[in-house]
Amino acid sequence: MLLAQKTAVVTGAANGIGRAIASRLAAEGAALAVLDIDAEALAGVAGDIRGQGGKVLEFVADMTARRAIDQAFDQIAAKLGHVDVLVNNVGGSLRDRAGPFWTVDPSTWQEMVDLCYLPGMACAYRVITGMIAQGGGKIVNIASDSGIVGSRANAAYSAAKAGVVGFTRALARELAPHRINVNAIAPGYIRTRAMDRIPQDLIEKAIAETPLGFMGEPEDIANAVAFLATDQSRYITGQTLIVNGGRWFN
Protein backbone atom coordinates (compact mmCIF):
# COMPACT_ATOMS: atom_id res chain seq x y z
CA MET A 1 0.00 0.00 0.00
CA LEU A 2 2.69 2.44 -1.07
CA LEU A 3 0.12 5.07 -2.16
CA ALA A 4 -2.14 5.01 0.88
CA GLN A 5 -3.50 8.49 1.65
CA LYS A 6 -2.51 9.63 -1.86
CA THR A 7 -4.72 10.85 -4.70
CA ALA A 8 -3.90 9.79 -8.25
CA VAL A 9 -5.33 10.84 -11.61
CA VAL A 10 -5.14 8.52 -14.62
CA THR A 11 -6.20 9.69 -18.07
CA GLY A 12 -7.25 7.31 -20.83
CA ALA A 13 -8.15 4.86 -18.09
CA ALA A 14 -11.02 2.93 -19.69
CA ASN A 15 -9.08 0.28 -21.59
CA GLY A 16 -5.76 -1.43 -22.05
CA ILE A 17 -2.74 0.22 -20.47
CA GLY A 18 -4.78 2.93 -18.74
CA ARG A 19 -7.11 0.39 -17.17
CA ALA A 20 -4.16 -1.64 -15.88
CA ILE A 21 -2.52 1.48 -14.46
CA ALA A 22 -5.68 2.52 -12.61
CA SER A 23 -6.09 -0.95 -11.12
CA ARG A 24 -2.44 -1.09 -10.05
CA LEU A 25 -2.47 2.30 -8.34
CA ALA A 26 -5.73 1.43 -6.60
CA ALA A 27 -4.08 -1.76 -5.33
CA GLU A 28 -1.36 0.43 -3.81
CA GLY A 29 -4.04 2.31 -1.86
CA ALA A 30 -4.47 5.47 -3.93
CA ALA A 31 -7.79 7.27 -4.17
CA LEU A 32 -8.36 7.60 -7.90
CA ALA A 33 -9.84 9.91 -10.46
CA VAL A 34 -10.07 8.22 -13.86
CA LEU A 35 -10.80 10.03 -17.12
CA ASP A 36 -11.79 8.76 -20.56
CA ILE A 37 -14.23 9.42 -23.36
CA ASP A 38 -15.52 5.81 -23.30
CA ALA A 39 -18.22 6.10 -20.63
CA GLU A 40 -19.25 2.44 -20.58
CA ALA A 41 -15.75 1.03 -20.29
CA LEU A 42 -14.80 3.68 -17.73
CA ALA A 43 -17.76 2.72 -15.56
CA GLY A 44 -16.54 -0.87 -15.75
CA VAL A 45 -13.08 0.13 -14.53
CA ALA A 46 -14.54 2.13 -11.67
CA GLY A 47 -16.84 -0.73 -10.72
CA ASP A 48 -13.96 -3.20 -10.62
CA ILE A 49 -11.91 -0.91 -8.39
CA ARG A 50 -14.82 -0.33 -6.02
CA GLY A 51 -15.41 -4.08 -5.95
CA GLN A 52 -11.87 -4.48 -4.60
CA GLY A 53 -12.53 -1.90 -1.91
CA GLY A 54 -10.91 1.02 -3.69
CA LYS A 55 -12.02 4.64 -3.88
CA VAL A 56 -12.53 6.01 -7.38
CA LEU A 57 -14.38 8.76 -9.20
CA GLU A 58 -14.87 8.58 -12.96
CA PHE A 59 -15.06 11.54 -15.30
CA VAL A 60 -16.20 11.12 -18.88
CA ALA A 61 -14.21 13.65 -20.88
CA ASP A 62 -12.95 14.25 -24.39
CA MET A 63 -9.26 14.69 -23.63
CA THR A 64 -8.67 16.59 -26.86
CA ALA A 65 -10.91 19.40 -25.57
CA ARG A 66 -9.24 21.80 -23.13
CA ARG A 67 -12.57 22.88 -21.67
CA ALA A 68 -13.50 19.27 -20.84
CA ILE A 69 -10.15 18.77 -19.13
CA ASP A 70 -10.58 21.91 -17.05
CA GLN A 71 -14.11 20.93 -16.03
CA ALA A 72 -12.93 17.49 -14.92
CA PHE A 73 -10.05 18.90 -12.88
CA ASP A 74 -12.35 21.45 -11.26
CA GLN A 75 -14.46 18.54 -10.02
CA ILE A 76 -11.41 16.54 -8.97
CA ALA A 77 -10.20 19.44 -6.85
CA ALA A 78 -13.64 19.87 -5.29
CA LYS A 79 -14.18 16.19 -4.51
CA LEU A 80 -10.70 14.78 -3.88
CA GLY A 81 -8.57 17.79 -3.06
CA HIS A 82 -4.97 18.05 -4.21
CA VAL A 83 -3.42 15.57 -6.63
CA ASP A 84 -0.33 13.63 -5.55
CA VAL A 85 0.14 11.56 -8.72
CA LEU A 86 -0.75 12.38 -12.31
CA VAL A 87 -0.46 9.72 -15.01
CA ASN A 88 -0.86 11.14 -18.51
CA ASN A 89 -1.78 8.03 -20.44
CA VAL A 90 -4.36 9.14 -23.00
CA GLY A 91 -3.23 8.74 -26.61
CA GLY A 92 -3.47 6.62 -29.72
CA SER A 93 -1.51 5.84 -32.86
CA LEU A 94 -4.38 6.02 -35.41
CA ARG A 95 -2.87 2.93 -37.03
CA ASP A 96 -5.76 2.67 -39.46
CA ARG A 97 -4.32 5.77 -41.15
CA ALA A 98 -0.68 4.80 -40.92
CA GLY A 99 1.51 5.01 -44.01
CA PRO A 100 4.56 6.75 -45.44
CA PHE A 101 4.59 10.38 -44.29
CA TRP A 102 4.03 11.86 -47.74
CA THR A 103 0.92 9.73 -48.27
CA VAL A 104 -0.87 10.62 -45.02
CA ASP A 105 -3.38 13.48 -44.98
CA PRO A 106 -1.92 16.48 -43.11
CA SER A 107 -4.97 16.61 -40.84
CA THR A 108 -3.53 13.55 -39.12
CA TRP A 109 -0.57 15.59 -37.89
CA GLN A 110 -2.80 17.84 -35.81
CA GLU A 111 -4.89 14.93 -34.56
CA MET A 112 -1.77 13.24 -33.24
CA VAL A 113 -0.66 16.37 -31.42
CA ASP A 114 -4.18 16.92 -30.03
CA LEU A 115 -4.44 13.33 -28.80
CA CYS A 116 -0.94 12.29 -27.78
CA TYR A 117 0.80 15.48 -26.73
CA LEU A 118 -1.38 18.42 -25.68
CA PRO A 119 -3.61 16.60 -23.14
CA GLY A 120 -0.60 15.78 -20.98
CA MET A 121 0.46 19.41 -20.96
CA ALA A 122 -3.06 20.57 -20.09
CA CYS A 123 -3.38 18.08 -17.22
CA ALA A 124 0.07 18.86 -15.82
CA TYR A 125 -0.80 22.55 -15.91
CA ARG A 126 -3.78 21.88 -13.65
CA VAL A 127 -1.90 19.96 -10.94
CA ILE A 128 1.49 21.64 -10.70
CA THR A 129 0.47 24.58 -8.51
CA GLY A 130 -1.09 22.24 -5.97
CA MET A 131 1.94 19.95 -5.98
CA ILE A 132 4.23 22.91 -5.37
CA ALA A 133 2.04 24.05 -2.48
CA GLN A 134 2.13 20.62 -0.84
CA GLY A 135 5.87 20.23 -1.35
CA GLY A 136 6.01 17.40 -3.86
CA GLY A 137 4.28 15.13 -6.32
CA LYS A 138 4.71 12.67 -9.17
CA ILE A 139 3.96 13.12 -12.86
CA VAL A 140 4.30 10.10 -15.15
CA ASN A 141 3.86 10.61 -18.89
CA ILE A 142 3.23 7.68 -21.21
CA ALA A 143 5.36 8.14 -24.32
CA SER A 144 6.35 5.37 -26.76
CA ASP A 145 9.54 3.77 -28.01
CA SER A 146 8.38 5.11 -31.39
CA GLY A 147 9.23 8.57 -30.09
CA ILE A 148 12.82 7.47 -29.56
CA VAL A 149 13.65 5.07 -32.40
CA GLY A 150 11.12 6.38 -34.95
CA SER A 151 8.17 4.38 -36.22
CA ARG A 152 8.10 3.39 -39.87
CA ALA A 153 4.84 4.52 -41.49
CA ASN A 154 3.74 6.60 -38.51
CA ALA A 155 5.94 9.68 -38.43
CA ALA A 156 3.33 11.97 -36.90
CA TYR A 157 2.85 9.58 -33.97
CA SER A 158 6.60 9.34 -33.44
CA ALA A 159 6.87 13.13 -33.48
CA ALA A 160 4.06 13.59 -30.94
CA LYS A 161 5.56 11.00 -28.59
CA ALA A 162 9.02 12.51 -28.97
CA GLY A 163 7.39 15.74 -27.83
CA VAL A 164 6.19 13.94 -24.70
CA VAL A 165 9.78 12.92 -23.94
CA GLY A 166 11.04 16.48 -24.43
CA PHE A 167 8.26 17.94 -22.31
CA THR A 168 9.06 15.42 -19.56
CA ARG A 169 12.71 16.44 -19.44
CA ALA A 170 12.02 20.17 -19.45
CA LEU A 171 9.30 19.94 -16.82
CA ALA A 172 11.52 17.76 -14.62
CA ARG A 173 14.18 20.49 -14.59
CA GLU A 174 11.67 23.17 -13.68
CA LEU A 175 9.96 21.19 -10.93
CA ALA A 176 12.94 19.45 -9.32
CA PRO A 177 13.45 22.28 -6.77
CA HIS A 178 9.89 21.64 -5.61
CA ARG A 179 10.52 17.89 -5.10
CA ILE A 180 8.18 17.00 -7.95
CA ASN A 181 9.40 14.03 -9.97
CA VAL A 182 8.54 14.00 -13.67
CA ASN A 183 9.30 10.88 -15.68
CA ALA A 184 8.07 9.08 -18.77
CA ILE A 185 7.54 5.48 -19.79
CA ALA A 186 8.02 4.44 -23.40
CA PRO A 187 6.13 1.20 -24.10
CA GLY A 188 6.95 -1.01 -27.04
CA TYR A 189 4.52 -3.60 -28.41
CA ILE A 190 1.88 -4.19 -25.74
CA ARG A 191 -1.08 -6.52 -26.11
CA THR A 192 -3.98 -4.05 -26.27
CA ARG A 193 -7.01 -3.52 -28.51
CA ALA A 194 -4.77 -1.71 -30.99
CA MET A 195 -2.89 -4.95 -31.55
CA ASP A 196 -6.12 -6.62 -32.62
CA ARG A 197 -6.13 -4.44 -35.73
CA ILE A 198 -2.64 -5.43 -36.80
CA PRO A 199 -2.18 -8.41 -39.17
CA GLN A 200 -0.91 -11.54 -37.46
CA ASP A 201 2.22 -11.70 -39.60
CA LEU A 202 3.24 -8.25 -38.34
CA ILE A 203 2.58 -9.32 -34.75
CA GLU A 204 4.85 -12.32 -35.25
CA LYS A 205 7.50 -10.07 -36.78
CA ALA A 206 7.32 -7.74 -33.78
CA ILE A 207 7.76 -10.64 -31.38
CA ALA A 208 10.68 -11.93 -33.44
CA GLU A 209 12.33 -8.50 -33.12
CA THR A 210 11.93 -8.57 -29.33
CA PRO A 211 14.92 -10.13 -27.54
CA LEU A 212 12.78 -11.44 -24.68
CA GLY A 213 10.64 -13.25 -27.25
CA PHE A 214 7.14 -12.24 -26.20
CA MET A 215 4.76 -9.29 -26.35
CA GLY A 216 4.22 -7.20 -23.25
CA GLU A 217 0.97 -6.96 -21.34
CA PRO A 218 -0.68 -3.77 -20.01
CA GLU A 219 0.32 -4.85 -16.51
CA ASP A 220 3.99 -4.57 -17.48
CA ILE A 221 3.48 -0.85 -18.05
CA ALA A 222 1.31 -0.51 -14.95
CA ASN A 223 4.05 -1.99 -12.77
CA ALA A 224 6.55 0.53 -14.13
CA VAL A 225 4.11 3.36 -13.49
CA ALA A 226 3.60 2.19 -9.91
CA PHE A 227 7.35 2.35 -9.31
CA LEU A 228 7.61 5.89 -10.66
CA ALA A 229 4.50 6.98 -8.75
CA THR A 230 5.81 5.97 -5.33
CA ASP A 231 8.68 7.09 -3.12
CA GLN A 232 10.68 4.10 -4.33
CA SER A 233 11.67 6.35 -7.23
CA ARG A 234 12.25 9.52 -5.20
CA TYR A 235 15.74 10.09 -6.66
CA ILE A 236 14.68 9.63 -10.29
CA THR A 237 13.45 12.49 -12.46
CA GLY A 238 13.61 13.54 -16.10
CA GLN A 239 14.01 9.94 -17.24
CA THR A 240 12.28 7.89 -19.93
CA LEU A 241 12.01 4.21 -19.05
CA ILE A 242 11.75 2.06 -22.16
CA VAL A 243 9.57 -1.01 -21.54
CA ASN A 244 9.73 -3.07 -24.74
CA GLY A 245 11.30 -6.42 -24.01
CA GLY A 246 14.73 -5.28 -25.18
CA ARG A 247 13.63 -4.28 -28.69
CA TRP A 248 15.56 -1.04 -28.15
CA PHE A 249 18.75 -2.98 -28.84
CA ASN A 250 17.61 -3.59 -32.40
| Interatomic CA distance for residues 112 and 119, integer angstroms | 11
Q: How far apart are CA 49 and CA 87, in angstroms?
A: 17
Question: What gap in Å lies between CA 217 and CA 159, rounded to an integer?
Answer: 24
Res 250 pLDDT > 60: no
State phi, psi for 36 to the nearest 5 degrees: -170, 160
8 A C-beta contact, residue 217 and residue 123: no
**pLDDT tens, 182-197?**
999 999 989 887 777 6
Of the segments 17-31, 86-100, 198-212, which one has the largest average pLDDT value? 17-31
Predicted TM-score (pTM) of this structure: 0.95
- Between residues 174 and 146, the one the model is more confident about: 174
pLDDT at site 154? 87
pLDDT of residue 118: 97
Q: Over the stretch 216-234, which tens digit does the pLDDT of each residue have?
A: 999 999 999 999 999 999 9
* pLDDT tens sequence across 13-27: 999 999 999 999 999
Local confidence band at 243 (pLDDT 50, 70, 90 cut-offs): very high
Residue 147, pLDDT score: 92
Domain ranges of the chain: 7-249
157 is catalytic: yes
Nearest one of 222, 236, 113, 97 to 180, comparing CA atoms: 236
Selecting among 117, 125, 157, 189, the annotated active-site residue is 157
Q: How far apart, in whole angstroms, are the C-alpha atoms of residue 183 and residue 167?
A: 10
Measured CA to CA, the distance from residue 88 to residue 16 in angstroms comes to 14
pLDDT tens digits, residue range 148-158? 988 877 899 99
Computed over every residue of the chain, the mean pLDDT equals 93
Pick left, alpha or beta for residue 29 (phi over 0 → left; psi -120 to 50 → alpha; otherwise beta): left
CATH number of the domain located at residue range(s) 7-249 in this protein: 3.40.50.720
